[in-house]
Structure 1
Amino acid sequence: MKLKLCLLALFCFCITVSAQEYFPKNDGVKTKNSNYTAFKNAKIYVSPTKILDNGTLLIQNGKVVAVGNSVSIPENAVSIDLNGKYIYPSFIDMYSDFGIAEPKKPQSDNSPQYDASREGYYWNDHIMPENNAVENFAFDKKKAEELLKAGFGVVNSHISDGIVRGTSSLIALNNDASNSKRIITQKASQVLSFEKSNASRQAYPTSLMGAIALLRQMYYDAEWYQNGNADGKDLSLEALNNNKSLPQIFVANDKYNDIRADKLGDEFKLNYIIKGGGNEFERIEEITETNASYIIPLDFPEAYDVTDPYIANKIALEEMLLWNQAPTNPKVLADNNITFAFTASDNKKTTDFKSNLLKAIAYGLDKTKALEALTTTPATLLNKADEIGSLEKGHYANFLITSGDIFEKETTLYENWVQGSKYVVNNINIIDVRGDYTLTLNGNSYTLKIDGEPEKIKSTLKQGTTKIASNASYNNGWLTLFYNPEGATNKDEFIRLSTKVATEGNLSGTAVLTNGNNATWTAVKKSSEEKETDKKEDNELPKLLPVTYPNKAYGVKTLPTQQTILFKNATVWTSEDAGVLENTDVLIKNGKIAKIGKDLSGSGATVIDATGKHLTAGIIDEHSHIAAAAINEAGHNSSAEVTIEDVVNPDDSNIYRNLSGGVTTIQILHGSANPIGGRSAIIKLKWGEDADNLLLKDRPKFIKFALGENVKQSNWGSNNTIRFPQTRMGVEQVFTDYFQRAKEYDEQWKAFNNSSSSKKSKSKAPRYDVEMETLAEILNKERFISCHSYVQSEINMLMKVADKFDFNINTFTHILEGYKVADKMKEHGVGGSTFSDWWAYKYEVNDAIPYNAAIMHNQGITVAINSDDAEMSRRLNQEAAKTVKYGGMSEEEAWKFVTINPAKLLHLDDRIGSIKEGKDADVVLWSNHPMSVYAVAEKTIIEGAVYYDYEKMQQVEKEVQQTKNELINMMIREKNKGVKTQAPKVKEEEEFHCDTLIYQL
């Protein structure tokens, strides 16, 4: 009987060590191995914070049966002694597209598609919550092996396509299993993004703000649908509602998109797990305030090859700073108690993941946090902490066997077990020969470095400082090395070294010289002390530079604060009835203009002698396109549902440039891609602040409309002839149709809201429509229109449409034929925001004249001069001056065109636009007459804080050059150390105009 048992045990052991499945790997008949395997005497990381010395891990049937220091090992267990080895839980990548083929792009006839291509689903093709990754999954053995070698055992795989991408599947990277066993969870999470689907040609959305608006409307629709208000069936909304209980992963890929995604989630009480971009450290306070969990890529930028000084000078400082600081991102997140997991998804090569992980640790990331980010955190975020992420009893037997600390460069990963199935990365029995040696042969001394993988070694041989070409191999315990010695006359003559490796440490063996004679060689391995010294030198990190706000040229280390400032003896341009006051003092206190007069005193105030200088209110630009990540949503002929407020970009260098021109407030307008554009954002140019703090508090509501060539797609090319309208008379019909719809929508909601509770419960609620809500605000005189316009016929047309629906157009912007209809504009009560002297740059402005502003003003219209241009906005003071020449405006009235008049058009004249007691302290100190070409804005102050100082700017300019030079030297040192570098690239900021069409994330 004992003999039979022994034979049976031997048979089971053979099955275990050879393969757990000896039938073909399909869904047919399989073996079932119920043997135990015990891993003894290892240092076991049961979890990142639960560590056992000399522990035992017992597994059976792909699960952990027991783990501890006194585990009872069954008789039928295969025992493996791992003395001196380490065991860790296998890693989890919770953001992956493993095994999912990229959707094919549809064939295109180059004409835009405006309607959805599917029936029974949501009206937008880019919303696909009904998609399930499991239905498209095919195990990719090659990619699986790459991930296994990097330490991963489980991936959360999804269809990486679309704005709502559907559900992901949790996959075990088990090479020896069927798909049914590999798939731990069929629907593990729902994945969303701001990125359109490649599988659809549907035009909408064409912008980031359009994607946000689409998601917002989708959530309203889903709630409305769930409450039983819809008449038909929508498979997309059903799936979206069914997936609500799953973890929601949002692919943001950038610090500001992280924040945008979180705001959207907060709006609908959703806690997104946000897939970040690796630059979160640049806005860590705002990232912390999201209270979100993150999935963080480890894909750090390489140093630039800056050996060409001309090209090096072209690299933006922000790109250099990102290289310098990006490896600190995980540490900064950890220091701010932000929950995060790591992903290898952004790495071009999976093998880069470990090196970047080690770099993050070298830059200060705690090893325990690193291990959590790869194991327990992703498991918890996926609601699977009871199955994966640690080696507790009952969990999947997913673990790594290593030679030592997994976060050390020299550590070898031997095996990656997934669901109890072994994958060999490196032979656990091989003697590791990697290291640094002093090689001696025939009286010559060399330095020899052996690195690479234990069984795929690489050699670096030097004699002194001279590198000698060499090639090493290590097979079946035999180490061989070939090299062509210095001074050899024949390049085909090699010295060949070989030895049979028996133990770790020093090496010695036989050499065959170039003449065929034999010799003896020795290689003495460096001591641990020597290695530590060399390691310290090799791992010496570049100096870390401080983060600025924004993190680029002219960014500030600390934000300016409100000051008490007393300007003495200034020439004060009040932009009020008081006119221009000579030799006058102005006291600024608590962010407001406190006093105006002569011989003022202010306790504790910073006194500025403004003798011979001019003090004005800050310039206001009624029509700007700076400081936004998108300008046009062109996917529909009406995009009232989108708002620029969703895409304010506080990093735009034009904010600082505008401050240098005395601009303090701007309205960022939607572009002119459609008759009914998007909602505006009114911001103060507080350089260094985040997007929320740029937005003006208690701001009035505005929206952009447009007329003319752009909206009827005159210059969009021959393929863009599908979208209505294509004519100017069609533009009128768009306005009439949409306002009629908005009127009926508003009446429907008012009737529903005013009905009794019993009647409400029996009737279906109207669908909440963000677009119609916005247009209803116009009808209810709660939102103002700023309309892009040129030709008098269309100007008249829109005023008539407004009269028909009983509201007023607030502002005609551009309005270059305003001089033709000034009397009618006055009667309607609309203002004009125009250019000073732009004309004839396209057909519909052929009749423009530089006297336009003066003529409208003389008819009693509130007139402003705007920029519509990032470059012109820096010299609006000079643009205003042109009306003195063209139209004979007085200097005081001309100055009002860029101060109090745009404030009136924006309904902000009670707060800004003039120097008056009680108003916001938004002022500019000029070195000269403010409309002079010689005038310099010496200080630009917003709410009592100095956001621009001319003298400081000159000092910062020098600091920028010094910082760039310092970074260039760091990069040169990195290249000299042999670190891989990338070719320089010139990053130019996109400057947006009315007609800019770009999908920018």
Structure 2
Amino acid sequence: MRIFKLLIVLLTINLSFAQDYFPKNDGVKQTFKNVVAVTNATVYTSSTTRIDKATILIKDDKILEIGAQIAIPKEATIIDATGKTIYPSFIDLYTEFGIQKPQAKPRNSRSPQYDSERNGYYWNDHIRADFNASDNLNYDDKTAKDLREIGFGTVLSFNNDGIVAGTGLLWTLNDAENNGTRILNKKISQHFTFRKSSLSAQAYPSSLMGSMALIRQLYHDAKWYAAGGSKTKDGSLEAFNQNKNLLQIFTAGDKLNILRADKIGDEFGVNYIIKGSGNELERIEELKKTNATLLIPINFPDAYDVSDSFLAEQVVLSDMKFWNQAPYNLKVLAENNINFALTTADLKNPKDFLANLRKAVELGFPKEKAIASLTEIPAKIANQNNVGSLKKGNLANFIIVSGDIFETKSTIQENWVQGNRFVIEKIQPSDIRGKYDLTLDNVKYDLSIDGEVSKLEAKISQDKLEFGTKLTYNEPWITMVVKSKDTLASKFIRISGLKSETSLSGKAILENGKEVSWSAIKKTTTSEVKKEEKKDEKKTPVFYPVTFPNMAFGNSSKPKQETILFKNATVWTGEKDGILKETDVLIENGKIVKIGKNLPQKGKVIDATGKHLTAGIIDEHSHIAISNGVNESGQNSSAEVTIEDVVNSEDINIYRNLAGGVTSANLLHGSANPIGGRAAFIKLKWGYNPDEMLVPSAPKYIKFALGENVKQSNWGDNERLRFPQSRMGVEQVYEDYFSRALAYQKEWDAYKASSKGKTPPRFDIELETLSQILNKKRFITCHSYVQSEINMLMKVAEKYNFKIQTFTHILEGYKLADKMAKHGVGGSTFADWWAYKYEVNDAIPYNAALMNNVGVTVSINSDDAEMSRRLNQEAGKTLKYGGVTEEQAWNFVTLNPAKLLQVDDKVGSIKIGKDADVVLWSDNPLTIYAKAEKTVVDGIIFFDIDQENSKNELVQKERNELINLMLDAKNKGLKTQEPKKKSTGHYHCDTLGEKCRVFHAKYNN
């Protein structure tokens, strides 16, 4: 009895604290002057360390002590957190929280801006390293409250605007303090993006490859500036150099852009922390090799509303698959030991953060990794030891959760930031609702507890007799006052006790004053059993495996090299042996190893009887497989940019070209400027990554251009501002740049000859590239039409002692073919395109044959994603126009482009020792009836017509299954989004900006 009274006294004390503890309104803060003890909680001091029934002692903004056996000072305010779970408050290293964004000055002109408008700063306005987020703060109470409610206590804020966007700061979401107290690190990071600043209309860069080139040049300029190379002060370069030891955070986004950002980092010895987009699982092997630390958003897409079958057709398979796969991204990253932290970035509604996180955990993302990615890992990235974990001396940044934070029913009830307590919702006792078997004085009763958790209602019954009952619950204490059986008298049974993990129990005072024991054991009802059974029967979510690439017609795994024997084919060698009948070709280790009759069977044997085997088609002038811009049109020379940076391995046109017998392509910059960007020679390895498609040993090319495009004839009046604006101006551009390149080369030669104690000259990527041309280490393919301009450029080249390698388009080539032959330049032309603009009015379909007849190496190119998959037919047209032989016509799309690209020692014909890039055709490849049945690149079959039916069936099967899953999601009341028509376009020479011309394809990807 004495013990029981003591418990009642303790209860009274706890209740007195509880009155201080519960605020009248949610969302308020509470500051304690004395020491505060949060007791009886399950505390995760880190992602892997848990202390049960722990106490956290807090004074001011820090943790004094933490543990299960902590002596609580007498003056401490005690907060009982029994049944609650405590975690370190979360950290987000990628936000724009509280940043006061500068506003762009209004422009009165619609014409392009080519020069910088900032005096004393870098030549490009999109480099804004001098912007400091900490000088432009506007703490936002509402957004801070929203972030605290989902568990965040510390954020890194920056202004995400510009290719170099300036510095960020690390601060807490502490409304109670001023900026000086809540700022943990005033300058913690320097930020990069591939996007231009909204504060400037400067035209350069106008493409992704231009952004990459600008960043590279910036690194070179910063090094040169730091060495004292500049005579004038540059505010941007000064800031950039001062910030180089901060965290370097790169907003990449797309998985391929992560690889691109990492590539720049590797070049300059910078370990970027890279912000992704949530599709990293699609290129996980490549990302593993980067060893980069990532910041990952969890903005899972909503299901598409596909209830309308016509609208459903607009949703491409890749988007359907991503909806299914996105929630697994974190699991895949964790399984592959990639270091990453989570961010709220890209979420339309911050409240979706916890729901998405819980979904990821449900699908296999380990809880420990989830906690670490929000606490320890971001703290370690930020080199901030006083947040991200709970230990003596750390900031008192923690959240109090009603239970396991990954359980759907759990809620974040409080978020403490720097010792300041922010109440999100009133802490409720644990849920004791349910049906119980009550034993009171050895008599059995039924006890039912219902109602709201904060306002419980109890009923005690026996048979059909019900007793009036009033229940009070202050965890873990429970009291009930029960009206006795004697309805004529006001007699009551007083029940008091404690809640344990599995039951309720204690002492009761009967009507006659007798003290007895009681206990209540929770029942498992039939409905609960059924509910549990139903839960056990829950279907395992269907995960659609990633394909290579992760879209329609992707491969379940990367295709591998095989030993292949083509038997009894008509072999178009492209060599002096000509066309061989009933001949075998053996491929091993990616090479052609034997050609002959009746070769012994080995490896995969393909019966090619009645079929034609040729070398793979080579497209000398292609614009497929390029990301975010084919032209860097922001200035009249863009020799510093390279298509190699922006190869898009997931362009459906790669697969379509393979289906048309194309095995390699020279990806060219467009024709927006006289000196364009550098080219990329690729093999069409469908499903491989961009670097695996490039051919490193291939000679290097650059695109030049003549004619209407470079002088902006058809760009519109507002655009006609940039030099040159005439054909004679085009010539002057070449004279100016090659003169500069010579001077640049001489300056570097003089420095290398006697560099002791001298500051090196400025390294200029553009002039380095032009110097390579002068030194015959890079070769020109030039967009051209008009005879006079073609003559002009050959004369310029001869003046500077080099030659043009290829004139592409060259529709007036027949007028000066003799001069071309003398110069040694090849011609890559169209079979029969003409009259699509003024400067092609003199084009004739006999052009290819006439150039060929005087000794010019001629090829037929596409310049178009549609034509490129029919180049065999384009070659066939030359039989009609000019009377070339079948073998000559076929060489126009195989051996001759290989010669123009100087890779004819590797590809372009069927010859022992050459790369196994071959195509098996159903018929003579020059006819419109011929189909490419098997397309082989480096001994790997990338297209097989025998598999097309099954691939199409798989596309339809996956679409139908995913549509059903989306319909099921809608029926369950989950959010959906409207189907969106996703169209892809085709780049052409004159395409400006980052977007293609629109071309709709039902199953593009």
TM over 0.5: yes
Deviation at 1:402, TM superposition (A): 1.0
Deviation at 1:291, TM superposition (A): 0.2
Deviation at 1:548, TM superposition (A): 0.2
Residue 149 of structure 2 corresponds to residue 149 of structure 1: yes
Match of 1:221 in 2: 221
Residue 266 of structure 2 corresponds to residue 262 of structure 1: no
| SS at structure 1 position matched to 2:893 | coil
- Give the whole-Å Cα distance in 2 for the aligned partners of 1:525 and 1:677: 76
| SS at structure 2 position matched to 1:850 | coil
Residue 266 of structure 2 corresponds to residue 271 of structure 1: no
Q: Which of the residues 604, 625, 634 maps onto 1:606?
A: 604
Residue 341 of structure 2 corresponds to residue 341 of structure 1: yes
Matched residue type, 1:420:
G
TM-score (norm 1): 0.87
| SS at structure 2 position matched to 1:137 | coil
After superposition, the Cα gap between the structure-2 partners of 1:429 and 1:542, relative to the gap in structure 1 and judged at 3 Å, is: closer
Q: Which has the larger radius of gyration?
A: 2
| SS at structure 2 position matched to 1:581 | strand
Residue 923 of structure 2 corresponds to residue 928 of structure 1: yes
Deviation at 1:764, TM superposition (A): 2.0
Q: Which region of structure 1 is more displaced relative to structure 2, 341-350 or 604-613?
A: 604-613
Residue 183 of structure 2 corresponds to residue 183 of structure 1: yes
CA contact (8 A) 1:477 1:500 kept: no
Q: Which of the residues 851, 868, 879 maps onto 1:884?
A: 879
Match of 1:516 in 2: none
Residue 894 of structure 2 corresponds to residue 899 of structure 1: yes
- 1:291-331 deviation per Cα after TM superposition (whole angstroms, max 9, x unaligned): 00110001011111111112212311100000011110000
After superposition, the Cα gap between the structure-2 partners of 1:268 and 1:746, relative to the gap in structure 1 and judged at 3 Å, is: same
Q: Which of the residues 846, 849, 854 maps onto 1:851?
A: 846
Residue 950 of structure 2 corresponds to residue 955 of structure 1: yes
Deviation at 1:577, TM superposition (A): 1.3
Match of 2:368 in 1: 368
Match of 1:161 in 2: 161
- 1:762-814 deviation per Cα after TM superposition (whole angstroms, max 9, x unaligned): 32210000000000000000000000001111111111111111110100000
CA contact (8 A) 1:207 1:1000 kept: no
Q: Which of the residues 989, 994, 1000 maps onto 1:994?
A: 989
Deviation at 1:143, TM superposition (A): 0.5
Match of 1:456 in 2: none
- Give the whole-Å Cα distance in 2 for the aligned partners of 1:782 and 1:75: 82
Deviation at 1:104, TM superposition (A): 2.5
- Give the whole-Å Cα distance in 1 for the aligned partners of 2:637 and 2:225: 24
Residue 739 of structure 2 corresponds to residue 740 of structure 1: yes
- Give the whole-Å Cα distance in 2 for the aligned partners of 1:104 and 1:714: 34
Deviation at 1:990, TM superposition (A): 2.6
- Give the whole-Å Cα distance in 1 for the aligned partners of 2:982 and 2:333: 27
| SS at structure 2 position matched to 1:595 | strand
CA contact (8 A) 1:16 1:33 kept: no
Deviation at 1:13, TM superposition (A): 9.8
- Give the whole-Å Cα distance in 2 for the aligned partners of 1:306 and 1:15: 53
Deviation at 1:529, TM superposition (A): 5.0
Deviation at 1:697, TM superposition (A): 3.2
- Give the whole-Å Cα distance in 1 for the aligned partners of 2:907 and 2:524: 78
Match of 2:963 in 1: 968
Q: Which region of structure 1 is more displaced relative to structure 2, 558-567 or 842-851?
A: 558-567
After superposition, the Cα gap between the structure-2 partners of 1:128 and 1:525, relative to the gap in structure 1 and judged at 3 Å, is: farther
1:58-137 aligned within 5 A: 58-108=57-107, 109-137=109-137
Q: CA RMSD in A?
A: 2.7
Deviation at 1:959, TM superposition (A): 1.1
Residue 879 of structure 2 corresponds to residue 861 of structure 1: no
Matched residue type, 1:162:
G
- Give the whole-Å Cα distance in 1 for the aligned partners of 2:892 and 2:410: 70
1:372-387 aligned within 5 A: 372-384=372-384, 386-387=385-386
Match of 1:453 in 2: none
Deviation at 1:532, TM superposition (A): 4.3
| SS at structure 2 position matched to 1:594 | strand
Match of 1:623 in 2: 621
| SS at structure 2 position matched to 1:168 | strand
| SS at structure 2 position matched to 1:762 | coil
- Give the whole-Å Cα distance in 1 for the aligned partners of 2:130 and 2:897: 49
Residue 556 of structure 2 corresponds to residue 557 of structure 1: yes
Match of 1:495 in 2: none
- 1:628-653 deviation per Cα after TM superposition (whole angstroms, max 9, x unaligned): 10311111100000000000000000
Match of 1:466 in 2: none
- Give the whole-Å Cα distance in 2 for the aligned partners of 1:984 and 1:203: 34
- Give the whole-Å Cα distance in 1 for the aligned partners of 2:790 and 2:299: 53
- Give the whole-Å Cα distance in 2 for the aligned partners of 1:154 and 1:316: 39
Match of 2:908 in 1: 913
Deviation at 1:754, TM superposition (A): 1.6
Deviation at 1:435, TM superposition (A): 11
Deviation at 1:191, TM superposition (A): 1.2
1:218-617 aligned within 5 A: 218-384=218-384, 386-429=385-428, 477=455, 529=529, 532-533=532-533, 540=539, 542-602=541-601, 604-617=602-615
After superposition, the Cα gap between the structure-2 partners of 1:501 and 1:159, relative to the gap in structure 1 and judged at 3 Å, is: farther
Deviation at 1:105, TM superposition (A): 3.5
- Give the whole-Å Cα distance in 2 for the aligned partners of 1:268 and 1:15: 60
| SS at structure 1 position matched to 2:219 | helix
After superposition, the Cα gap between the structure-2 partners of 1:270 and 1:310, relative to the gap in structure 1 and judged at 3 Å, is: same
- Give the whole-Å Cα distance in 1 for the aligned partners of 2:747 and 2:389: 56
CA contact (8 A) 2:428 2:454 kept: no
Deviation at 1:434, TM superposition (A): 10
Matched residue type, 2:884:
M
- 1:24-76 deviation per Cα after TM superposition (whole angstroms, max 9, x unaligned): 99xxxxx9965211111111111111110111111111111111111222222
- 1:910-956 deviation per Cα after TM superposition (whole angstroms, max 9, x unaligned): 11000111111111010100111110111001111111100112221
- Give the whole-Å Cα distance in 2 for the aligned partners of 1:138 and 1:722: 40
1:668-817 aligned within 5 A: 668-755=667-754, 760-817=755-812
Deviation at 1:976, TM superposition (A): 1.1
| SS at structure 2 position matched to 1:331 | helix
CA contact (8 A) 2:649 2:687 kept: yes
CA contact (8 A) 1:400 1:415 kept: yes
| SS at structure 1 position matched to 2:153 | strand
Q: Which runs of 5+ in 2 are unaligned?
A: 1-12, 436-449, 458-469, 481-522, 997-1005
Match of 2:464 in 1: none
- Give the whole-Å Cα distance in 2 for the aligned partners of 1:121 and 1:976: 57
- Give the whole-Å Cα distance in 1 for the aligned partners of 2:474 and 2:156: 42
- 1:349-387 deviation per Cα after TM superposition (whole angstroms, max 9, x unaligned): 010111111111111100000000100000000111x11
- Give the whole-Å Cα distance in 2 for the aligned partners of 1:126 and 1:532: 59
- 1:159-184 deviation per Cα after TM superposition (whole angstroms, max 9, x unaligned): 01111111111110011111111111
Deviation at 1:193, TM superposition (A): 0.9
- Give the whole-Å Cα distance in 2 for the aligned partners of 1:432 and 1:414: 15
- 1:605-650 deviation per Cα after TM superposition (whole angstroms, max 9, x unaligned): 2222211110100000000000110311111100000000000000
| SS at structure 1 position matched to 2:249 | strand
Matched residue type, 1:349:
N
- Give the whole-Å Cα distance in 2 for the aligned partners of 1:245 and 1:95: 18
1:169-208 aligned within 5 A: 169-208=169-208
Identity %: 58
| SS at structure 1 position matched to 2:45 | strand
CA contact (8 A) 1:205 1:635 kept: yes
Match of 1:3 in 2: none
- 1:146-203 deviation per Cα after TM superposition (whole angstroms, max 9, x unaligned): 0011110011000011111111111100111111111111111111111111111111
- Give the whole-Å Cα distance in 2 for the aligned partners of 1:294 and 1:735: 43
Deviation at 1:702, TM superposition (A): 0.3
Q: Which runs of 5+ in 1 are unaligned?
A: 1-8, 26-30, 437-449, 451-472, 480-498, 509-522
Match of 2:439 in 1: none
Deviation at 1:708, TM superposition (A): 0.8
Give aligned pairs, total: 908
| SS at structure 2 position matched to 1:47 | coil
| SS at structure 2 position matched to 1:825 | helix
